Structure 1
Amino acid sequence: MEVFCADAILYIFCSHITMHFQLLAYEVKQIADTSSNTSERADFKTRFKELITTHLRVVFLVNELELVYCKSTLMNFMVSSALICLTGFNVTALEDVAFVITFIGFLFITLLQVFFLCFFGEMVMNASEDICDSMYNSKWYTIDAKSAKMLLMVQIRSQRPSKLTAYGFADVNLRGFMKILSTSWSYFALLHSVYTRDAEN
């Protein structure tokens, strides 16, 4: 229960950050809908500064979340890989149906926990990447050259997505989830082959 509460807080934070990135992407896409007169150009610069400030704040939130959760996420990834491997092995090795059902339930819960962790990490990363796409899809060609250069600088920064990591060893996204499954399968195959060979001898 305690683990679920800690994970639930992370899910809430990720959802909140994703929402802010999506709102920011919408605002960025609409910001260049201005004409070339002086008053609207001044309004553009004011709104653009506000958007940059908001973007920096949201990136800061992602970095703070990364700082809080990176070590526990790495431990979670390592333990989950071992648990998935060993639980899968028990499911295939045991003959008692009651034990097998218990281990299948435990395996499902473990997979679900890691999947949700990676899914919400993927949400944050994709939402931060959408800022770059929104800049490109805005009407940047209707604004003056100086303002377009400002948009370009922010676009270049947003090409490097904000993301959560397992203490820098792996990204917390669906690709990371597939990597965990791949690692667990490799250890499971090795363990199963050793067990089968010993059983035959």
Structure 2
Amino acid sequence: MEHLKDFASEFSKPFAICFDLLGKSNISIYNESKFRGKLRILALVVFYVTFYFSLVVSFKKVFTGELGFYELANLLPIFIVATQGAMKGIVIVSNLSKAKTVIDDLGTMWRSNGLTKTQLMKKGVMLKRLNFCNAVFYWMNITGTWQYILVPLFETVFRNFVLGQDKLLFPFICSLPYEATKNWMVYLVTYFWESYSMLHLIYMYLGVEFLMITLCSHLATEFELLREEMLHAKPILEDTAYTTYKDNIGTVISYSDEEQNDSIDYFEEDSTINIIRADEDGPRIQEVIRRHQKLIMLSQLLDDIFNRMIFFNLLFATITICFFGFVAKIARDPPEMANNFVGVVASMIPIFNLCYYAELLSGASAGVADSAYHNLWYNGDRQYQKIIIFIIVRSQQPCCLTSMRYAQVTLNTFTTVLSTTWSYFSLAISVYET
């Protein structure tokens, strides 16, 4: 966190979890890997590739009939989670410079002083909500992950040393080129290999999720502060040199040819006319416009980083939740039922957080239009009123996270995911019963 020490602590604190999780997978947004770090990356890649290959071989056995439908139901969600973890790691590594830009620019814009009581209250509520959600999300997923990994080991110890049953259990269905249950030494080494590989894939999975959610929340917070500034920007005429608005508003709105010519004429510099600025009790409208433009750019950059990842999140979420729930229902013993029930909850939380914070960002950015409408624009001259119109028009296109830049992510998306999951779950139960 040394690289964020120049920013406000309230801004930096929520990043601690995601940087810690990514660091455990040897992914750093700021620090370049040293020789020792590169060796660790190589070791992790070997673990990931061998583990993933063993899952693929197990899938092949399902299609050849060596493994049944029950084994497929256990294998599929683990395979998907491992795939998502690897894909998210690739996404963040390939977009490190963009992620750094968003974090640094947001940190530079972040303000702790000079805010009104309403702004301080809104910012405090958003930060408390983010820190609470991050804490709940973190502990539920980490606890669930360790439970899923360690329960088979504890059950093995109980069966062998208490019940006297000679049975060795593993957390995942992996196909190996040797007899993993040959003796306790081979068993424990294999168990460690499976656990270590999957654990670090989950660290990547969660670390990228936390990073996306934190950035989305901070952007929504900045939009909420901007709404208050837009609301209280009070127009006053002043004879002075005209400051151009063309770069601040004109370039981010689409017009017809006639409208565009009119807007360009309006934004051209002219020192002979009056301009509008905020009075002493409110922010300058120029500053509000510049902040608005900057936030729009950062929102688009955030979506550019994560839109493909969001698509695969939503695509695989229904299958993962469905099969975790399916195995929980048909589980052969209570530990397996508990493990898969935790898997259901752990799979739903990231999707809910994604949809919830995407909804917050969309609502906060669209709310700038309401604040502009309730601004005292009618006290300004024709030029000021045109500026307000441009702000309203642009804000009616909310900044949002999307799935492959096509479908906007909102809380309705979460409802759709649950509905589809239930359909798949019902189908899986019907197939199993027949």
Compute the TM-score of the two structures, normalised by the length of structure 2. Answer: 0.43
**Shift of residue 65 of structure 1?**
0.7
Q: Report the equivalent of 2:41.
A: none
Q: Percent identity?
A: 27
Q: Report the equivalent of 2:407.
A: 170
Q: Are 1:10 and 2:212 an aligned pair? A: yes
Structure 1 residues 154, 19: CA separation in 2 closer, same or farther (over 3 Å shift)?
Answer: same
Q: Report the equivalent of 2:295.
A: 58
SS for the counterpart of 1:163 is coil
Matches within 5 A, 1:44-83: 44=278, 47-83=284-320
Compare relative contact order (CA 8 Å, sep 6+) and give the higher one, 1 or 2.
1
**Shift of residue 161 of structure 1?**
0.5
2:222 is aligned, of 11, 20, 24, to: 20
Give the AA of the match of 2:308: K
Please identify runs of 4+ aligned residues in structure 1 that moved more than 3 A: 34-42
Q: Report the equivalent of 2:232.
A: 30
Matches within 5 A, 1:33-182: 33-35=234-236, 41-44=275-278, 47-182=284-419
The answer to whether the 8 A contact 1:121-1:173 is kept is yes
Separation in 1, partners of 2:239, 2:373: 23
Q: Which runs of 5+ in 1 are unaligned?
A: none
Separation in 2, partners of 1:139, 1:168: 36
Q: Which runs of 5+ in 2 are unaligned?
A: 1-202, 241-273
**Shift of residue 143 of structure 1?**
1.5
Separation in 2, partners of 1:42, 1:63: 29
**Shift of residue 49 of structure 1?**
2.6
- Mean CA deviation greater in 118-127 or 35-44: 35-44
- Mean CA deviation greater in 64-73 or 93-102: 93-102
**Shift of residue 41 of structure 1?**
4.9
Q: Report the equivalent of 2:154.
A: none
Give the AA of the match of 2:212: L
Give the AA of the match of 2:421: S
Q: Deviations over 1:26-85 (max 9, x none)?
A: 111011x24556579542499223222211111111111111111111111112111011
Q: Report the equivalent of 2:182.
A: none
**Shift of residue 25 of structure 1?**
0.8
SS for the counterpart of 2:425 is helix
Aligned length: 196
**Shift of residue 172 of structure 1?**
2.1
**Shift of residue 170 of structure 1?**
3.0
The answer to whether the 8 A contact 1:34-1:41 is kept is no
Larger radius of gyration: 2
Separation in 1, partners of 2:275, 2:406: 45
Give the AA of the match of 1:148: Q
- Mean CA deviation greater in 134-143 or 164-173: 164-173
Separation in 1, partners of 2:227, 2:404: 28
**Shift of residue 140 of structure 1?**
1.7
Separation in 2, partners of 1:56, 1:35: 23
**Quick check: which one's helix share is greater?**
1
